[in-house]
Amino acid sequence: MARLPRFVLPGHPHHILQTGNNGLAIFIDDEDRLRFLGWLKESAREFKVAIHAYVLMPDHLHLLATPAAAEGLAQMMQRLGRYYVPFYNTKYGRSGTIFAGRFKTSLIDSEKYFMACSRYIESNPVRSKLVDDAAEYSWSSYAHHVGVTQNPVITDHALYWALGNTPFQREAAYRELSRPMLSQKEMEVIDAAVLKGWPLGSDKFNSEVQQRAKRQVLPAKRGRPFKVAPRPDGA
């Protein structure tokens, strides 16, 4: 199935996936990761994108981010590429792109999927058997959320703040929330949404997004053409 055109809704979180070109390792050592995070922090600030969670894996990265404007995500990722790709190519004596095309993104229904998506992102190193505990991995936002470190890249989402009245309560609640691994079904749903560019939410949320977009943002039902219902005001 062809990938749907990207749909970005300001003020709502989005799951972003960027992979290495043909399986290329995009982070080889700690300097690479530190440089990338520095440019991520600057780019997010410049284009008013709040980063809520992230993980830097050897050959791909995930972000959970809320843009203030529709173009903010693309502008942030473009700026990151303008700085990071030349740095990487110069350091490793190569040329050309290091990323596999444009980044992928999925609009997230906060109430239903925000925490699951955050856990999905931060548990990547455990699922990949790089560490036994997410807190042991230095290149994700998990340590920030459980109070091990304070991460200047991260802007905590309102749902994280709602976990408790004090930092200790929030950190303990997040640690407990993250203790059970996501089910295979949950991971498949999150995977499919970001890979195909689908919104990830309840039926009501997805329907509202479809109407707001005025174009297809959900997988079409087999055998039936896509049609947006007319608005009551006739617009």
**Domain ranges (residues) in the chain:** 14-201
pLDDT for 6 equals 77
Spatial distance between the Cα atoms of 59 and 20, rounded to a whole number of angstroms: 5
Task: Report the share of the chain in percent with pLDDT over 90.
Answer: 79
pLDDT for 229 equals 45
Which two tokens mark 96?
């050309």
Is the per-residue pLDDT at 233 higher than 80?
A: no
Spatial distance between the Cα atoms of 119 and 215, rounded to a whole number of angstroms: 30
Closest CA to 72 of 117, 8, 156: 8
Is the per-residue pLDDT at 221 higher than 70?
A: no
pLDDT for 212 equals 80
Is the per-residue pLDDT at 140 higher than 60?
A: yes
pLDDT tens for 4-41 read: 567 899 999 999 999 999 989 999 999 999 999 999 99
pLDDT for 209 equals 83
pLDDT for 222 equals 56
pLDDT tens for 53-112 read: 999 999 999 999 999 999 999 999 999 999 999 999 999 999 999 999 899 999 999 999
pLDDT for 59 equals 97
Task: Report the share of the chain in percent with pLDDT over 70.
Answer: 89
Considering the entire predicted model, what is its pTM? 0.89
Buried b (16+ CB within 10 A) or exposed e, 110-142: beebbbbbbbbbbbbbbeeeeeeebbebebbbb
Is the per-residue pLDDT at 153 higher than 90?
A: yes
- Quick one: fold of 14-201? Alpha-Beta Plaits (3.30.70)
